[in-house]
Structures are given as C-alpha cells and as structure tokens.
Structure 1
Amino acid sequence: MQKNPISQNKPAIIKKPFGKLPNGKEVFCYTLSTESGMELDVINYGASLVSLKIPLENGNKVEVVLGFESLSNYINSFSLPSAPYFGTLVGRFAGRINQAQFTLNDKVISLTKNHIPHQIHGGLEGFSKAFWEVTVADSNSITLEYCSKNGEENFLGEVRTQITYSLTEERELKVLMHAKSDQDTIINLTQHSYFNLDGHSDTLVNQELLVNATETLEATSENIPTGKFINLNGHGYDFSTPKKCPTSIDTTFVLSKENAIAATLFSKKNNLKMSVITNQPAVHIYVGGNCFNQITGKENANYLSLSGICFEAQNFPDAPNHKHFPSAILKKGDTYIHNTTFKFEKL
C-alpha cells in the first residue's frame, strides 16, 4: 500500500488542532461533511471517530456517537476501571485471546497481557493508542495509516494498516480497513464507536435492537469463547425481531450472510434507524460507555453504563485458538480487507 499525498482535487477538509501527545506529536481533528448535512469528526490518535451528526426531518442534527472534546480525556480514558475505547480502531486483534497465547506455524506466541491473564483489544497499547498518519483527506473521505512494528505487543510481522472513513449522500458512514504483513501473523480489526440514536447524552432504554443471527458464541465467565455455539431460538438474546435494547450485553453474534445487514438500531424519538452492514463473520455487541463520573463527555455529558451500544464487526474472539472458527491468519503478502457500513434512514 503506497502512501498518497493529501488530495488537492476536492474541497479542503476542515482540520483543527486537538492536542499534543506526551511525546510532543500534535494530534488533529478532521471534519468531513456531505451536502445532505452529515458531519464526521476523526482524530489521528487511535484513528478515532469523535463525532457523527445525522440530519433529522425537523431540520436539527443529532449527535449519535459518544466521545470526548479533548485529547487528554481520550488518553485518560484508558485508565478508567473499564477502558471504553471510544471510537477507536481496535487492533491488532479485537476481543480476547485466551491466556494471551496462540500457536502459529507450530510456534507458540505469547502476547502482552492487559486483561490478566488474557489479552484484549491488541494489548497494552494496541492500535487504539497509536498515532496515525493522514495520507488522503477531502471533504467526505479520510484515510489514515499506521505501521505496527514486528514484535509490537509480541505479535509477529511488520503490519501496515490503513483505515478509510467515507460519508455518502445516502447518509452512510463507510469504514474500509486494509492490512498487509511481511510475515505470517494474525489480525482482527474493528471500529469501536458507541452509538445512541436518541443523542449521545441520552440513554438506550427507549431504543430497539434487531440482530440477524441465529447463534452466539458460548463463553466462559471471563468471556472467553469455549468453541461451542448457542442457538438463539427462544433465547433472551434472540433479537430476530426488534426488542428493547438490553441493559447489559457483551456477546458475539454469528452472522450467516456476508455483506448483509448484521444489526439494526431503532429510535422512535428521532424517527431514525441505523443498519450495520459488514463482510465480517461476526458482530460483537456491547452496551456501555461508563466513565465512572471521572471524565466528562462531549457537551458535559455524563456517560453511564447505558449510554451507548457498540457494534464490533469482526472475526470471532480467540479465533487463533479454535481451528473450526474462521481463520484470523494473515499470510505474508496477502491483504486483509474489512468493510463495514453504518447506514442511517428514517423509520
């Protein structure tokens, strides 16, 4: 993947300073927009999605993702009792890896542990705390790139990853991720935004959820997949028809169709629905966002345990340790491709 110069052929993207990292690198916030009124803010710390505003029928706009107004809050959020990973690109491996260990090409790989005794969301630093270079930017699309060195978090291979956020006039946020490695390695990326269609300062209690899945992954008390599947027929997590959003969920839903609607969130308050479409084999759904009264969200919002819902389109957690799960191996020279679209429509 070649690094491209910032585009000069389209209207300029709005770029504003967002703070400096402890190493002195300056982080910027990039605002994308469409003629139909969608607005997206992205920062190059963690390739994080900070803000997404959707126009409503009444002429107003609703802020549908949780986030912070300062870089320091993003940095400090990783020290909360449960780090929220607001809007970040999670990698190299989203979700948990049992005992922070797996075997690749007959070699046991022991990773860093940040969810003792396991690894979660790529380790101690991961992609979510990385400084990403902006390679292409215009009014409705931005591409960021990060080169993960061989041995980072004890993963094998130098992995170069790109993520592109694009807005369309059909009120879609398209997320495209590419990655290549110079050695065989494993990879599982996801976009980790917390959505709330009633507005980021509201709760999820009046919204409904639909998930197009007939199975979930069985997991231990530490949320490590056992390798077994749970049939959702008659189960409390059967969202094959719209139901109230659960007050607590941290579960992987197995998707049967690629590039089809995986899940849909409904807001009667704003007459709005959001569909999640992905080429990934699973969507891990998590309700949360709690900042434990320690960090204030955008517009002085107090984010609590029911503030947002994540749709983590991805491979199965702990896939490298289960031969019957979809392979998470990225072969040397091959290209990992991940597509997820968040589409907003009237009810």
Structure 2
Amino acid sequence: MNIKQISHLPNTSAMESFGLLPDHEEILSCELCNKNGMKAKIINYGATLTSLLIPVATGEVVDVVLGFDTLESYLASYHLPSAPYFGATVGRYAGRIDKGVFALNDQTFQLNTNNNGNALHGGNIGFGQKTWNITHITSGDNPSITLSLLSENLEENYPGALQVDLTYTVTEENELKLEYKATSTEDTVVNLTHHTYFNLDGHHRDLLNQTLFIDSDKMLETDTENIPTGNFIALSDHDFDFRTAKKCPEAIDNSFVIESGKAVSATLSSVGNNLQMKVITDQPSVHIYVGGNCFGSIKGKENTNYHTFSGICFEAQNFPDAPNHKHFPNSVLRKGETYHQKTLYRFENIT
C-alpha cells in the first residue's frame, strides 16, 4: 500500500486499488463524498482527479471531468505526441519557460526541454507522472485528502529539494477546493496548477452549448510558440473578451490576467443541465485551454471518444515564463518561505 505517514484514516472503505505501476507499486483511488451526492475520485498517481460526480436539477448525477478508467491509460497518455494531462497536478512550473532557461541569484539554470525546445509543465517527468504519498484523509463534513511529494534537488534541473502538499476537499457547498503548500531547501521557482478538463454536460458530450465568462480585461501576448512576450493584449473588442458570457471557443490556449480579490474569476455554464461552475482563485491568472491534445482518437472513460471540443481547462496559476519577466508576478520561492495557493471550483444549479 502506498500510504505513508497517515495521521488520520477513518474511512478505509473510500479507498481502493487503481492498479499497479510497471514496478508493481500500487496506485490507490480515494473517493470524497458530501451529503448532497457530489463525489470526487483522486488517485495518488499525479495527484490526479479522475472523476467528479455532480448532482443536477433533473435528479441525475453527471461526471463533469474527462479521464481514463485505468492506470495503464493514464501512463500511456504521457507517451502521446502531446500529453493531455487529464486531471493532473502540474509542476514544478506550470506553463512554458522560454527555452527552459532562467536566472536566479546570478546563476543560470538550463531545464530539461520537452516542448519545441521549451520547458512545459515541469519537464520530461513532471508532477503529473509522480507517485504521491497519501498523508491525511478526513471524512464527515467537508471530507478531504492530502497528498505529498518530494521533488529532489536538481530534478529536471530545478534548484532545491521541493516539498509539496496538496489537499483536495469536497465541501458541503458543492465545491472542489484545492490548497497547495510548498517549501524548498534552496531558492527556486514554483508554479503549480490543476489540469482537469471540465464538461458540465458530462465527459461524453461536447462544449457546444456551454458558455464562458472570464472577469479579465487583458491577457498575455504570446509568440508563435506560445511564449509570453512580456506584453499584454487589451480585450475590449477582442474575440476573447468574455466579460460578457458567450459560447466556448473551439480552440483557445491563453492566460487571462485576474485581479486579486475577485470573488469569481471565471464561470462555465450549461443550459442543458442548468448547471454552472464558478472558478475562485488567489492566483494572478487563469489559463484557459480547449482543444489540441485529444486528437479525436483518445479513448476515455466508458469507451468515450474524446475530441478537441470535449473539455475545457481552467488552470489557475502564475504567468507562464514569469522567471524571465521582472514585471510579472513573483515566481521565486525563497528558502525558508512557504508557497501557498488556493483554488476552488463551485458548482451551482442555475435557477
């Protein structure tokens, strides 16, 4: 069993085996349920959300996230030409770092590159491909699971041994809450995020009739390789101005700047299920991603054919390539300090 340092494990019935890694290490799945019938399933491979069941007004319960039924499929997905990162925890640095290079304390670090000569989502083997330890589980009201990971010094050439703790909580208000904490033995850069693809009509449907709201008046300008230039694009009269909700675009891969203190950063709404999801975060941006990595040929849960319009990601995070832009929000975690991040996805019936 891959459970280490458990301080409280009151409900082992919520835990089951999800399969074995090639080295025969067992991967576990934990189910968190609230009193309303909302259920989240998390595996400790990649601290990955595999299923999120939401009760809707019709009385049905809908799985609103894309994923796979087997561990083997998650493992295989990282060998595709471009991994989809279904439900994964992304780190050490979410998004792209230009040519995998950054300077810190007058020292230059060359990271492993895995995306057209750039570093993407932590490198060749990011946090989504790591086995996390399950360190704490609670049941009852607001059940939660805490998963922990130690990223060794110079893993993927990042400085410092980084200790990461991530707590998933299902609240009685039908929220999925994610709280991240990290410390490092040396000064380093950190940017963690969550990479679930959502679909409020169910993981087997498309986004055709769902609408998107983003409380942002500017987004990062990027070059042809999606590396930030350091400039911003004003969204007035732009196709990607979602301050007035409109249909989800069939292709988008952009970081929207979010002002701190906003009650709701983004909202996804479905008239089909009379359901909406509100994204609330303390991060300076939400990266919205639709399309590109499903290829129209990925077999997902329940033998579903996932395609480029099957799901939408709301990646709450710091700016991509922030270590190389002094005017971007700080991405440096100093030795002795603690990185904190909190994001929640709130599900509500539309009345």
TM-score by length of 2: 0.96
1:285-321 CA distance string (max 9 Å, x none): 0013743355411111110000000000000000000
Are residue 188 (structure 1) and residue 191 (structure 2) matched?
yes
Q: Distance in 2 between matches of 1:259 and 1:170?
A: 19
Gap runs ≥5 in structure 2: none
Query: C-alpha displacement at 1:141, in angstroms?
Result: 0.6
Equivalent-residue separation in structure 1 for 2:268 and 2:44 (angstroms): 28
Shift of 1:12: 4.1
Q: Distance in 1 between matches of 2:157 and 2:53?
A: 38
* Match status 1:142 vs 2:145: yes
> How many corresponding residue pairs?
344
Q: C-alpha distance in 2, partners of 1:209/1:47?
A: 27
**Which residue number in structure 1 is paired with residue 243 of structure 2?**
240
CA distance, structure 1, for counterparts of residue 209 and residue 21 of structure 2: 38
* Contact 1:13–1:32 (CA under 8 A) maintained in structure 2: no
Q: Could you say what the CA RMSD is over the residues aligned between the two structures, in angstroms?
A: 1.3
1:99 matches 2:99: yes
Whole-Å separation in 1 of the counterparts to 2:298 and 2:348: 32
Q: Return the letter of the residue paired with 1:209.
A: L
Is the 1:77–1:291 contact (alpha carbons within 8 Å) kept by the matching residues of 2?
Answer: no
Instruction: Check conservation: 2:98, 2:321, Cα contact below 8 A.
Output: yes
Query: 1:125 corresponds to which residue?
Result: 125
1: CA distance between counterparts of 2:206 and 2:292?
Answer: 10
Aligned to 1:25: 25
Residue 49 of structure 1: aligned partner:
49
In 1, Cα distance between the equivalents of 2:254 and 2:13? 37
Instruction: Supply the AA of the counterpart residue of 1:31.
Output: E
**Structure 1 counterpart SS, 2:99:** helix
Question: 1:215, 1:111 → 2: CA distance?
Answer: 29
1:41·1:49 contact (CA, 8 Å) conserved in 2? yes
Per-residue displacement from partner, 1:155-194 (whole Å, max 9, x unpaired)? 0000000100000111000000000001000000001100
Change (3 A) 1:168 1:325: same
Is 1:84 aligned with 2:84?
Answer: yes
2-side partners of 1:291 and 1:205: how far apart? 16
Aligned to 2:278: 275
Distance 1:255 1:305 in 2: 26
Match for 2:20: what amino acid? Answer: K
Residue 4 of structure 1, CA deviation: 5.2
Change in CA separation of 1:40 and 1:13 when aligned onto 2, cut-off 3 Å: farther
Q: Which of the residues 192, 198, 201 maps onto 2:201?
A: 198
1:25 Cα deviation after fit: 1.1
Q: Deviations over 1:217-276 (max 9, x none)?
A: 000010000000000011000000110000100000001133521100000000000000
| Letter matched to residue 218 of structure 2 | E
Unaligned stretches of 5+ residues in structure 1 = none
Name the counterpart of 1:110: 110
Map Cα deviations across residues 16-68 of structure 1 (whole Å, 9 max, x no partner): 11111122211011111011100000000000000000011221101100000
Residue of structure 2 equivalent to 1:314: 317
Q: Tell me the distance in 2 between the aligned counterparts of 1:293 and 1:264.
A: 26
Aligned residues of 1:88 and 1:193 also touching (Cα < 8 A) = yes
Aligned partner of residue 217 in structure 2, secondary structure? strand
TM-score under structure 1 length normalisation? 0.97
Query: Partner residue of 1:7?
Result: 8
Q: Which residue of 2 aligns with 1:224?
A: 227
User: How far apart in 2 are the matches of 1:263 and 1:288?
Assistant: 18
Which amino acid in 2 is paired with 1:107?
Answer: Q
Q: AA paired with 1:99?
A: K
SS at match of 1:51: strand
Q: Counterpart of 2:204 in structure 1: which amino acid?
A: S
Distance (Å, rounded) in 1 between the aligned partners of 2:102 and 2:13 = 42
Change in 2 beyond 3 A, CA 1:87/1:286: same
SS at match of 1:94: coil
* Aligned mates of 1:258, 1:186 — CA distance in 2: 24
CA contact (8 A) 2:296 2:308 kept: no
What secondary structure does 2:116 align onto?
A: coil
Residue 13 of structure 1 deviates from its aligned partner by: 5.2
The answer as to 2:295 corresponding to 1:292 is yes
C-alpha distance in 2 between matches for 1:298 and 1:204: 17
Residue 151 (structure 1) aligns with: 154
